[in-house]
Amino acid sequence: MIFPKLPVLKKLSQRFLNLLELPFENITFVCVQHILETTGSLFEALTRHGAKPENIYIMGKFYSTHAETAERMRKELGLKYYDSKVPIRLGEFHNYFSKDINSLWVQVIRKLKQAHNHSIIVIDEGGMCIRRVPDYVLRNFNVIGLEQTTSGIKNHHQTKFPVIDIASSAIKKHVECLLIIETIIEKLKSHINLKNNSTYGVIGLGNIGRSLAIYLKNKGLRVNIYDIDPVKECPSGVHKCPNVIDLLNSSEIIFGCTGDHLPNESWFSEVTGEKILVSCSSADIEFLEILHRAENPLIERKNNHYLIQTAVYKDLDNKLIYRILNGGFPINFDRTSQSVPSMDIQLTRGLIFAGMIQAAALLETDIKYLPNTIMLDPILQRYTIKTWMQYRKSRLDFHSDLKVKNLTDTDWIKRESGKGINITHFT
């Protein structure tokens, strides 16, 4: 084996792939992923079950890519791996990456024109690859998508093919976010000292934001929270701010957890003090306007590695200072081989692998009758979490808000897995 062995992937393969004999060899995979060691484990498992390396196209994101892993995926696994371009300035990732995705599809089409009887699975993180599937591909091939992020799911309604909603799956929402917030806090400690007398602000009451606020509150810290939707319930023991400006003025360390562009002009005219801004979202979207006004916007390269500095904005009289850690990119990604320990994050790899299995099964049907958004199969979710808990259940012992018994209840998983249609092929 080239990459770390992940028991969850092995058990999923034994339970479902060996039984169904799904034809992965006739599928082209087009993927946008964070390139970590366990990403290599995921695609190595895929190739062991019939997927051809030359049919797997992967693009990483420079701010999260572990360079050595990318090289091994390309050279040792034989995958079609492509680096994303590095923007010169902070705040320009989206523009560069959209062009990268277009270039990726050009390469895919070049190969598809020589292929016969191929179907396509698009595995996306952020929604851009799914949104940019070319018309030529849609006219000539059966396509199913997998989307891992909430922002990607929000924006996929314009697509003309079915997408399996991993982002809203119960297990991802209720368990993965707990693992990620612990990593966010640990990575944050390498940038700043977390002080008990500081006030922490969390913008966004989604899965990550809510879990982060509860985690900080349980550590005895003062926590403010704000969400644009006033109906969303605030966790007990956390102060809910009436507006984002109130949160900014009453907090020193602010976490952006919306998956959307936050700042407007009031962030510059109605806020005072020194603020540390931390992105817990995808790419650099949370604090984009501040990045555009930062004093040190350049991304430096040193010894084939990219140095993403803290971006600093100061107003003319220094009454307002924003320090955006990690250049506005997610704080849990620092281009090392792991963002979360491999035995923990194998849960996420397992959910993606489960989505691949489900997509391959659906491609055996007449997909024109499939709905636009499909629930990640509750049976596959249940099996994934049960297997993961055989190895890592103790990781949940410190989260009293999580009812562990629910995680293996198929009916609860269905209720908690978003608005996608449940189409099950498994028992």
pLDDT in tens, 13-37: 999 877 667 778 899 999 999 999 9
pLDDT at residue 304, as a whole number? 63
Q: Which of 129, 126, 125, 153 is nearest to 143 (CA)?
A: 129
420: in domain: no
Q: Would you write out the chain's pLDDT as a tens digit for each of its 427 residues?
A: 899 999 999 999 999 877 667 778 899 999 999 999 999 999 999 999 999 999 999 999 999 999 999 999 999 999 999 999 999 889 999 999 999 999 999 999 999 998 877 899 999 999 999 999 999 999 999 999 999 998 888 876 677 899 999 999 999 999 998 899 999 999 999 888 888 889 999 999 998 999 999 999 999 999 999 999 988 989 999 999 999 999 999 999 999 999 888 888 999 999 999 999 999 988 899 999 999 999 877 777 766 667 788 999 999 898 999 999 999 999 999 999 998 889 999 999 999 999 999 999 999 889 989 999 999 999 999 999 999 999 887 777 655 566 778 899 999 999 999 999 998 778 7
Concatenated DSSP letters of 277-291: EEE-SSTT-TTHHHH
Helices (H), 365-409: 378-392
In CATH, what number is assigned to the domain containing residue 78?
Answer: 3.40.50.1480
Residues 58 and 133 placed together within one structural domain of the fold: yes
Q: Which of 274, 299, 328 is the last residue of a domain?
A: 328
Spatial contact of 63 and 333, defined as CB atoms under 8 Å apart: yes
Residues 147 and 15 placed together within one structural domain of the fold: yes
What CA–CA distance (Å, rounded) separates 206 from 124?
20
pLDDT at residue 157, as a whole number? 67
pLDDT at residue 404, as a whole number? 79
Q: What are phi and psi of 72, to 5 degrees?
A: -70, -35
Residues 127 and 63 placed together within one structural domain of the fold: yes
Spatial contact of 97 and 84, defined as CB atoms under 8 Å apart: yes
179: in domain: no
pLDDT at residue 300, as a whole number? 75
Residues 128 and 64 placed together within one structural domain of the fold: yes
Residue 423 burial (10 A CB sphere; 0-12, 13-18, 19+):
middle
421: in domain: no
What CA–CA distance (Å, rounded) separates 326 from 332?
9
What CA–CA distance (Å, rounded) separates 301 from 145?
34
Residues 246 and 156 placed together within one structural domain of the fold: no
One-letter amino acid identity for 56? I
**CA distances, 179 to each of 47, 68, 284, 381 (Å):** 27, 24, 21, 17
What CA–CA distance (Å, rounded) separates 349 from 34?
11
176: in domain: no
Residues 238 and 292 placed together within one structural domain of the fold: yes
pLDDT at residue 295, as a whole number? 86
pLDDT at residue 184, as a whole number? 94
In CATH, what number is assigned to the domain containing residue 249?
Answer: 3.40.50.720
Q: Which of 310, 328, 346 is the last residue of a domain?
A: 328
Q: What is the pTM of this model?
A: 0.94
- The residues near 264 (Cβ < 8 Å, ≥ 6 apart) are 289
**CA distances, 242 to each of 53, 166, 246 (Å):** 52, 32, 7
pLDDT at residue 396, as a whole number? 75
Instruction: For residue 31, give its domain range.
Output: 7-171+337-415
Residues 214 and 321 placed together within one structural domain of the fold: yes
pLDDT at residue 296, as a whole number? 73
Residues 265 and 211 placed together within one structural domain of the fold: yes
Residues 27 and 149 placed together within one structural domain of the fold: yes
295: in domain: yes
186: in domain: no
Residues 322 and 256 placed together within one structural domain of the fold: yes
Residues 292 and 357 placed together within one structural domain of the fold: no
pLDDT at residue 88, as a whole number? 87
Q: Which of 328, 361, 394 is the last residue of a domain?
A: 328
pLDDT at residue 394, as a whole number? 77
How many domains does the chain contain in total?
2
pLDDT at residue 313, as a whole number? 95
pLDDT at residue 17, as a whole number? 79
pLDDT at residue 427, as a whole number? 76
118: in domain: yes
Residues 262 and 202 placed together within one structural domain of the fold: yes
187: in domain: no
